[in-house]
Amino acid sequence: MSNTRVTVSVIKDRKVKGIPITMLTAYDYAMAKMLDSAQIDMILVGDSLGNVVLGYDSTLPVTMEDMIHHGKAVCRGTKNTMVVVDMPFMSYQVSVTEAVQNAGRLLKETGAQAVKVEGGVEIVEAVKAIVRAGIPVVGHLGLTPQSIHQLGGFKVQGKDEETAKKLIDDAKLLVESGVFAVVLECVPEKLAAKITQTIAVPTIGIGAGSGCDGQVLVVNDMFGMYSDFTPKFVKKFANLQAQMLTAIMEYKQEVTARTFPAKEHTFSIAEEVLDKLY
């Protein structure tokens, strides 16, 4: 395998060539290493970290320190994959200066190649300033979990004319502001396809149908390792939770029965050394 990191131009070129982009989330070294070896194009250190790793009921409590801690671990596990780190809630909404400083911290302290921000017209000044600072930015429209209280729950976005038009306008504005890709979450398939045809940068869909330029899923969802809530758009490519639970029960049974550890898991010591002890 080559040791060439996927770059912004590689991702943009995929749209031109019509080659689908693969993106998955990761939050630690081991998972990142696996995704990197499978040549997944982009890893998102998503603030879904808050739900699937830290046990919060939303992404709102996730901090810059959380993102940096997990971003660093993910970057240590990658050689080829592009790593994108989510900017957490309130790290880019308060002021443009703070947005640039926090985006800079995410790149400097984790080693990631890009950041992702949620929202449209409301955040374009922040996006422009981050891009001006030389930091690649991915946008995120549709169901934006950081605005969950404003959206009133996890619902499909852009179902009526007004909200569908706003999504198209926001996508165009984000592109004008310099994003190199846009995540579309929980958007009707035909609207996502229309946005994909309208804008010049790749769209990466999650619950947005097959007309997007790429797809992203939360790994814990696709592995069947997160059971608190499973959105309709998730396909479980494995059911690891059931397999892991079986392994845990077997371990418990073997430890209780003293059949684990067995001979092959233990280390020996010479009898004469033992004899000299006390």
Contact between 201 and 175 (Cβ < 8 Å): yes
d(CA 42, CA 74): 12
| CB-CB contact of 205 with 159 (8 Å) | no
Q: Which amino acid is at 175?
A: V
| Smallest distance from ligand KIV to CB 206, Å | 5
Is the CB of 188 or the CB of 214 nearer to ligand KIV?
A: 214
- CB 275 → ligand KIV: shortest distance, Å? 59
The nearer residue to ligand KIV, 14 or 140, going by C-beta atoms, is: 140
Min separation Cβ 6 and ligand KIV, Å: 17
In the complex, least distance from residue 44 CB atom to ligand KIV, rounded to whole angstroms: 6
Residues of this chain that interact with ligand KIV (CB under 6 A) are 25, 44, 46-48, 86, 140, 183, 185, 206, 216, 218
Active site residue 185: yes
Indicate which residue of 65, 98, 125, 185 is catalytic.
Answer: 185
Are 121 and 90 spatial neighbours (Cβ–Cβ below 8 Å)?
A: no
Query: What sign results for the dihedral spanned by CA atoms 222, 228, 233, 239?
Result: positive
- Segment 60-67 long-range contacts (CB within 8 Å, at least 24 positions apart): 60/89, 60/146, 60/148, 62/86, 62/88, 62/89, 63/88, 64/88, 64/91, 64/102, 64/105, 64/106, 67/106, 67/110
Shortest gap between Cβ of 48 and ligand KIV (angstroms)? 3
Q: Which residue, judged by CB position, is nearest to ligand KIV in the bound state? A: 46
- Per the structure block, which two tokens stand in for 189? 């398939």
Q: What angle do CA 142, 152, 199 make, to 5 degrees?
A: 10
Q: What does residue 156 show for φ and ψ, rounded to 5 degrees?
A: -60, 140
Question: Which residue, 48 or 177, is less far from ligand KIV as judged by CB?
Answer: 48
Nearer to ligand KIV, 112 or 267 (CB): 112
Instruction: Please give the sequence-ordered ranges of beta strands (E in DSSP) within 20-135, or none if there are none.
Output: 21-25, 42-45, 82-86, 114-118
Give the single-character DSSP code of 27: -
If the CB atoms of residues 44 and 123 are measured against ligand KIV, the closer one turns out to be 44
Which three-class secondary structure state does DSSP give residue 230?
coil
Nearer of residues 229 and 260 to ligand KIV, judged by Cβ: 229
CB of 183 to ligand KIV, least distance (A): 5
Q: State the catalytic residues.
A: 185
